[in-house]
């Protein structure tokens, strides 16, 4: 979690234009490609993560988290689940 609202806005608008470390950029490039074009993934995508310092465990975590969110979103979309009002307004629920 970050309290850097400027970074959050940059990431929301276009993560490729955000001020990110090479590792963060590689991670988001991988996650975006896996989400949008999963059939085009190659060993080069894994190597790009390794080159920025991710080990096999971290790469597995990135892949699993990305795939999990895609799965959950598709289930929700397929069942017509809608967001609670506070998410649509951009608020967060009370803890």
Specify the number of domains making up the chain: 1
Residue 37 lies in a domain: yes
Residue numbers of the domain that contains 52:
20-89
Tens digits of residue pLDDT in 52-76: 999 999 999 999 999 999 999 999 9
Q: How far apart are CA 86 and CA 58, in angstroms?
A: 32
Query: In 1-95, where does DSSP find H-type helix?
Result: 5-14, 22-36, 43-51, 56-79, 85-89
Residue 12 lies in a domain: no
CATH number assigned to the domain comprising residue 52? 1.20.1290.10
Percent of the chain with pLDDT over 70: 88
Residue 1 lies in a domain: no
Q: Per-residue pLDDT averaged across 35-57, rounded? A: 97
Look at residue 88 in the predicted model and tell me its pLDDT: 61
Residue 41 lies in a domain: yes
Tens digits of residue pLDDT in 74-88: 999 999 998 777 666
């Amino acid at each position: 979690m970050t309290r850097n609202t400027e970074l959050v806005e940059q990431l929301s608008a276009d993560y490729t234009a955000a001020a990110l470390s090479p590792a963060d950029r590689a991670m988001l490039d991988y996650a975006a490609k896996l989400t949008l074009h999963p059939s085009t993934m190659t060993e080069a995508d894994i190597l790009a993560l390794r080159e920025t310092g991710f080990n096999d465990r971290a790469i597995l975590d990135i892949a699993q988290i990305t795939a999990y969110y895609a799965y959950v979103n598709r289930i929700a979309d397929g069942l017509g689940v809608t967001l609670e009002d506070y998410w649509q307004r951009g608020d967060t629920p009370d803890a």
